Amino acid sequence: MKKKLLFITIAETLMEAIISGELTSGSQVDSVRDMAVKYKVNPKTIQKAFEYLESKQIFFTKPGEGRFVTEDETKLQSIKAMLIDEQIDEFISVVSKYDLSTDELIEILKQKLN
Amino acid sequence: MKNLLQVQDVYQQIRGRVILDKISFDVASEEIVGLFGPNGAGKSTLLRKIANTEQMIGNVVINGIPNDFTKFRTDVILVTGDIEIPRLMTLRNYCKLLSTSFEIDNNFVEEYCQKLEIDIDARLGSLSKGNKEMAQLIACLATNSKLVLLDEPFSAIDIYKRDVILEMIIDSKLSGKTIIITTHLIDEISPILDKVAYIHDTKLEFYLDSEEIQEQSDSVASYLKERFKGE
C-alpha cells in the first residue's frame, strides 16, 4: 500500500488551518521559507503542498503580490466536507475493530453528543 | 539539476581492514542529503574524504573540480564536534579569521547567535559543549562554501535548540548551499531531507529520494528498521 506523502499531510494541515480560521480566507499565505521553518520540512515539500492546493483552487497566486487563500465560499464548504469525510472514514476504521452494530454505534454517539 | 558533488569509487582501508568499499554517488546542487548507517560504518571517513582532509583512493569532484589533497578549497567545509576550535578566540574573532579565506554572512551570524543565545564575544573555550557546537555551526554555515558537511551536528544540543538548527539548515539550502548531514536523530532530520544515503558494512546500501522512502514506510527510521531487521 502506498503511504500518504508528506506534502499531502502538510496540505491537509493547511486546509484544517483554513477551516479553523487560523488561516483566514482571502489572506496572504506565508512564504515557502517560513512554512518550511514552521513545519520543519524541506522547502520542496512546502512548494509541492502549495502547488497541490493551487491545483484544487484553494490557494491562488496574484502576480507580483504572492499567494492567497481562496474567498470562494463553495470551495471552503467543499474543503470542510472533504476533511469531515476523511476523518469519519478514519473513525469508522478505528471503531470497526469493536464489532458494534450500526444501531449500537449511533446510540453511543447520541449519548456522547448530548 | 546540476550535480555539485560527484563521489567516484572511494575506497579506504586501514591496516588491512576495508573501511569504505568503492562508494559512488552524486549530489545535486542545493539538496540536503542524510547520510546514515550504524556506528563505525565509515560515514565520518567518507565526509573527510569529500572535505579533502584525508587522502584515499577514488575521486571526489566538487563543482567540476577534482579534490587535490595538497590544495585548500573554500567551496567545501566540514563541521564536526571533534574539531579543535580556537579556544582563546571569541566567535567574532573566529569569523574574522575565517573571513581571510571565505566570505562571511555577518547578518546570518548575528541572527543565529541571537536565536541560539550564543554570546558572540565570549571566549569559545568558555562555552559549554553544546554551545561550542552551535558556535561552530553558525560560523561554518555563514561561510560562502557551496558544500557543507555536518557530522553529528546535534549531539550535545538540547531539543529546544534543535529546531533552530533545522531552521539554519533550511535557510542555508535556500541560500544555495548543498548539505550532507550525518546524525542518529533520524526522525528529526528526515522531513527536511531531499535524499537518503545509507552506508552499511563498508558499502553504500542505497541512495534514494526521501519521497520514495515515504511511499513505502511511515518514516525513514521505520524504513531502515524494516530493511535491516535482524542484522
| C-alpha span between B151 and B221 (Å, rounded) | 18
Query: CB-based contacts of B60: which residues, under 8 Å, 6+ apart?
Result: B5, B6, B7, B8, B10, B49, B50, B52, B66, B67
Nearest CB partner across the interface for B217, out of A3, A43, A45: A3
Smallest CA–CA distance from B195 into chain A, residue: A42
Rounded to a whole number of angstroms, the distance from the CA of B199 to the nearest CA of chain A is 23
C-alpha triplet B21, B205, B67: angle, nearest 5°: 50
Instruction: Give which of B111, B175, B214 to mutate to test A binding, by max A Cβ within 10 Å.
Output: B214
Q: Which of A14, A31, A34 is nearest to A23 (CA)?
A: A14
pLDDT of residue B225: 83
Residue B184 has a pLDDT of 87
Q: How far apart are CA B226 and CA B231, in angstroms?
A: 11
Chain A residue with the nearest C-alpha to that of B223: A3
B175 CB within 8 Å of a chain A CB: no
**The predicted structure's pLDDT at residue B87:** 85
**Nearest CB to A42; choose among B32, B163, B217:** B32
Per-residue model confidence (pLDDT) at position A1 = 47
- Using CB atoms and an 8 Å cut-off, which of residues 20-59 of chain A contact chain B? 33, 36-37, 39-45
Residue of A2, A33, A42 lying closest to B192 (CB–CB): A42
Closest Cα of chain A to B174: distance in Å? 8
Place of cell 535524499: B195
Give the closest of B32, B193, B215 to A5, CB-based: B215
- The answer to whether residue A5 neighbours chain B at the CB level (below 8 Å) is yes
User: Which residues in chain A have their CB less than 8 angstroms from residue B191's CB?
Assistant: 6, 39-42, 45
Nearest-neighbour CA in chain A from B65: distance (Å): 28
User: How far A67 CA lies from chain B's nearest CA (Å)?
Assistant: 19
DSSP labels, chain A = -PPPPHHHHHHHHHHHHHHHTSS-TTPBPPPHHHHHHHHT--HHHHHHHHHHHHHTTSEEEETTTEEEE---HHHHHHHHHHHHHHHHHHHHHHHGGG---HHHHHHHHHHHH-
Neighbours of B128 (CB within 10 A): 9
Q: Which residues of B27-66 are buried (b: 16+ CB within 10 A; e: fewer)?
A: beebbbbbbbbeeebbbbbbbbbbbbeeebebebebbeee
Task: Specify the pLDDT at position B83.
Answer: 66
pTM: 0.89
The pLDDT, as a whole number, for residue B82 is 67
pLDDT, position A2: 57
Neighbouring-strand partners of residue B35? B197
**Chain-chain contact of B174 with A43 (C-beta, under 8 angstroms):** yes
ipTM, two decimals: 0.85
Residue of B nearest to A32 (CA): B174
Which residues of chain B register pLDDT less than 50?
none
Residues of chain A scoring pLDDT < 50: 1
